[in-house]
Structure 1
Amino acid sequence: MSITTDNESGQARVAVITGGSRGIGNQVARKLAAEGLAVVVVYGGNKAAADDTVKEIREAGGQAITAQADVADENDMAAVFDLAEQTFGGIDVVVNAAGRMVLSTLAELDLKVLDEMHRTNIRGTFVVSQQAVRRLRPGGALINFSSSVVGLAFPRYSGYAASKGAVEAMTLILAREMRGRDITVNVVAPGPTATDLLYDNNTEENLTRLAAAPPLERLGTAEDITAVVAFLASHEGHWVNGQVIRANGGAI
């Protein structure tokens, strides 16, 4: 599978990846760069990690730049998309992997924490999606991130799952609003995946339980998820549209 084919303008394809300094977003940036796309690695606060990623991509012969932004700030994100267009000539793929997860029972979750989480996960997805569909070239793809926990309904995930349910709703509606634009809009909903986000929010006991949930009896890896993203971003994946892809090893 290859996604290096030029777009209609004859230029190399270009991807903007939020949450690109860590976890799944970081692996997506590396994967798409390896497939021949020029990438914009968008980060919130971890400049060193984003810089390291760009350095490694360039050393491997790829094209990459960093951009710092708050995904929920419309001015920040407009500036990121401006930078992508000015540097690489346009935008063909947007992967919105930025997210925040705080686990608590509903009864005990601090409402300030809830608001902060929903600002990143809901408003952030809305802002990034809004910029994406205004800027993406024909043949392009927008890929947002939900979570399989929306269906799995694990205890202590109520605030987080609520935000991801909102992501799924807005993204599927947006796919239908793109009629006639030749732009696909999909959601990837990973199951428990071995990233810092998961490890930082779970006990060893809980991680063991999560790993046992899928029939494949393991946690997902960032590489498992990036393979799905790369397919959705490719020309080969362009017939998949308006879908929630639950990449979770068969957990129900």
Structure 2
Amino acid sequence: MSVTDDISEARGGTSSAGLSELAQHRSARVRVEVAGNPHADDQTLLALAGDAAPVVRLAAAATGRSRAHGTVRALAASPDWRVREVVAGGEAEKTEASTLPRDVQALLTEDPRWQVRVCIAEHTQHRDLLTRLMADAHLRARKACALNRRLEETDLEVLRADRNGEVRAWVSWSSGLRGWRKSREQWLREAQDRSADVRWTALNHGDVPRWVVETLADDPDETVRTHAQQRSQQGLSRLRTPGTPFPAAAPEAPADP
């Protein structure tokens, strides 16, 4: 049989024994089809999760993350952080970590890679894990917590007091996405925040009060001040397309300043 025939068999085959044999094929194109086949058994998937080709490992993780508990936990302990990210619900899979067993989520919460912890931070439904991640050493994990739809007001207060301005700005932004109304005290806190990122985000909130805009029209940061003055003149009309809370994308440091 040609490689093309083997790819077709790996993609459409239903025999776990046949797929197990094809999992040892010399071509990664065949092995990746086996890894994505729902009829491949757990043992085959775990073997492919350790494949020499990254694309095969990720395909095996994507298929295996919904399998038996032992298989999912084994994948979550993979030496390849990209496999662990897929299990956690990362970019390769676009699924929520909340579908994972609690002990697997707990394992991934302690992962050495922030890319993995971010996935759990955004989607976990377990209060103790969310609390742990809100104190994570990496700002991206704490920012992801701000997007978790299971946050309560007490959690938001913790994140509003975060030492990093980007985290505080994401709390402000996420409250806008959820349609939560802020108190006057919260608006004042954001308008007086030491971070220009937070003040900019408050300015571009859909429900920003006029008095906040007028306060920020005298902001020490030129970008915030200029846009506040423009918004005031234009009757609080939107000055930007929603998507990012900051005026321009800037590279993030790998750790907190």
TM, length-normalised to structure 2: 0.28
Indicate the structure whose relative CO is greater, using CA pairs within 8 Å and at least 6 residues apart. Answer: 1
Q: Which protein has the larger Cα radius of gyration, Structure 1 or Structure 2?
A: 2
* Higher normalized helix content (fraction of residues): 2
